[in-house]
């Protein structure tokens, strides 16, 4: 195995272990995030998509020589890899039609070895390409942008408006980071209020809503909402800016809460150099598969009140939200959020190395630390 292939193998092993551990954390009912219930479930679904993407990229290395990651920043693959994955997904069926079936390839490989007494590299590449294309043609990878879904519908008893929990995701091409968005939004459209709210001000149980629903539940606004989310998902935009833009651009929609989960950066010994102290200590971890650290941030902005709209003969103003920004916390004000949480997931052996080096307190200051040990996640350390 070449040094490049060895490094790639270590990187894929580390990121797969990290994402698997993070999914365990999100689905664990003892997890601090589990109290949010559906939030953890939604994030876990996007983590599974990321895991699928890495499985595809790993297979792709069997017939392609290059794979670039953002070593000095996020520790994730560069954006070009996602574009190539998406392009391959669209072309998968056509390309598979020109590659022999897996069974045929195995027979050819066995025959080649018996006749030539050497490894059939060309056939091996064809097999790797087939496995890759079969894997990638499913739409369950983490693409450059994942369209919104409505995951929950209810009614606000105070306003008698239906509200939706809607989520979507993007991979920011500049920061090379996966971003998951969730918004709780009330809908004052007359047609939706009439359909979804019964006379007692509760959700109309006669309306069958097969959740999750692709897109925003309101069909009149769904296409515009998709356009909005695609244009307003950049990492450089603060959650407050996105919430204000949403409030401004849609007359009948009233965003009450917006969350963004930033899944990264990721640190891996001998691969990434995005933090010299972390890199130096992780290099001392005995088992390479345990020499990694994954961080993520949960940002939230919420409405503290609503300014009533005004309708007049010559001008009118829509109802607007007053979003709370915690100016008492300089970091919250900088991020443009009401609150935020920094989390870190690390294998037990790597945490011991950081602790023994006296670096744990400095590195994890301001973080909620979760340790992965024997397939379980231990929090509040």
188 and 125 together in one domain: no
Residues 6+ apart with CB under 8 A from 159: 186, 188
Terminal Cα distance for the chain, rounded: 39
Measured between alpha carbons, how far is 309 from 317 in angstroms, rounded to an integer? Answer: 5
The domain in which residue 92 lies consists of 36-138
Residue 334 lies in a domain: yes
Residue 12 lies in a domain: no
184 and 207 together in one domain: yes
Per DSSP, the three-state class of 325 is: coil
371 and 222 together in one domain: yes
Residue 14 lies in a domain: no
238 and 372 together in one domain: yes
Choose the final residue of a domain: 83, 118, 138: 138
Residue 280 lies in a domain: yes
Choose the final residue of a domain: 138, 158, 183: 138
341 and 218 together in one domain: yes
**Residue 171: closest CA among 283, 107, 289, 85:** 85
Residue 304 lies in a domain: yes
104 and 150 together in one domain: no
Is residue 368 within 8 Å of 32, Cβ to Cβ? yes
Q: How many domains does the chain have?
A: 2
Measured between alpha carbons, how far is 296 from 278 in angstroms, rounded to an integer? Answer: 16
Distance (Å) of CA 256 to CA 80, 116, 220, 244 = 35, 68, 20, 10
Q: State pTM to two decimals.
A: 0.93
User: Which CB contacts under 8 angstroms, 24+ apart, belong to 204-211?
Assistant: 209/153, 211/150, 211/151, 211/152, 211/153
DSSP state at residue 201: S
Tens digit of each residue's pLDDT, the chain (381 residues): 444 567 888 899 999 999 999 988 887 766 656 566 788 889 999 999 999 999 999 888 888 877 888 888 899 999 999 999 999 999 999 999 999 999 999 999 999 889 988 888 899 899 989 999 998 987 789 999 999 999 999 999 999 999 999 999 999 999 999 999 999 999 999 999 999 999 999 999 999 999 999 999 999 999 999 999 999 999 999 999 999 999 999 999 999 999 999 999 999 988 888 777 888 888 888 888 889 999 999 999 999 999 987 775 555 678 899 999 999 999 999 999 999 999 999 999 999 988 898 888 888 999 999 999 888 888 766
108 and 169 together in one domain: no
90 by Cβ neighbours in 10 Å (0-12 / 13-18 / 19+) ranks as exposed
Is residue 316 within 8 Å of 310, Cβ to Cβ? yes
323 and 215 together in one domain: yes
233 and 316 together in one domain: yes
Q: Which spans in the chain are helix H?
A: 3-27, 38-60, 79-96, 102-116, 121-136, 190-196, 222-231, 239-249, 276-282, 330-335, 348-356, 360-363
Choose the final residue of a domain: 94, 116, 138: 138
């Amino acid at each position: 195995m070449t040094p490049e292939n060895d490094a790639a193998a270590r990187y894929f092993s580390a990121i797969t272990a990290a994402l698997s551990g993070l999914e365990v954390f999100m689905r664990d009912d003892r997890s601090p995030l589990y109290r949010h219930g559906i939030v953890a479930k939604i994030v876990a679904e996007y983590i599974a998509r990321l895991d699928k993407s890495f499985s595809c990229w790993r297979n792709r290395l069997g017939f392609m020589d290059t794979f670039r990651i953002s070593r000095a920043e996020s520790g994730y693959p560069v954006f070009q890899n996602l574009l190539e994955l998406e392009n391959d997904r669209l072309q998968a069926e056509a390309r598979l039609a020109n590659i022999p079936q897996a069974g045929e390839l195995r027979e050819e490989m066995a025959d080649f070895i018996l006749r030539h007494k050497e490894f059939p590299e060309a056939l091996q590449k064809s097999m790797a390409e087939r496995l890759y294309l079969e894997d990638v043609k499913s739409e369950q990878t983490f693409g450059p942008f994942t369209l919104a879904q409505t995951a929950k519908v209810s009614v606000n008893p105070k306003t008698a408006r239906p509200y939706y929990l809607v989520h979507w995701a993007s991979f920011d091409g500049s920061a090379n980071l996966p971003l998951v968005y969730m918004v709780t939004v009330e809908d004052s459209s007359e047609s939706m209020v009439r359909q979804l709210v019964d006379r007692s001000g509760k959700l109309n149980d006669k309306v069958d809503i097969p959740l999750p629903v692709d897109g925003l539940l309101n069909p009149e606004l769904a296409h515009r909402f998709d356009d909005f989310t695609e244009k307003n998902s950049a990492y450089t935009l603060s959650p407050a800016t996105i919430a204000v833009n949403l409030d401004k651009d849609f007359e009948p929609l009233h965003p009450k809460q917006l969350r963004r989960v930033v899944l990264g950066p990721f640190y891996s010994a001998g691969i990434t150099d995005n933090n010299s102290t972390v890199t130096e200590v992780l290099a001392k971890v005995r088992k390479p598969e345990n020499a990694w650290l994954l961080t993520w941030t949960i940002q939230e902005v919420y409405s503290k009140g609503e300014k009533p709209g005004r309708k007049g003969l010559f001008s009118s103003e829509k109802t607007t939200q007053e979003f709370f920004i915690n100016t008492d916390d300089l970091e919250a004000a900088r991020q443009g959020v009401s609150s935020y949480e920094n989390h870190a997931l690390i294998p037990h052996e790597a945490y011991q190395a950081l602790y023994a080096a006296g670096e744990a307190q400095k590195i994890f200051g301001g973080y909620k630390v979760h340790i992965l040990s024997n397939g379980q996640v231990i929090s509040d350390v």
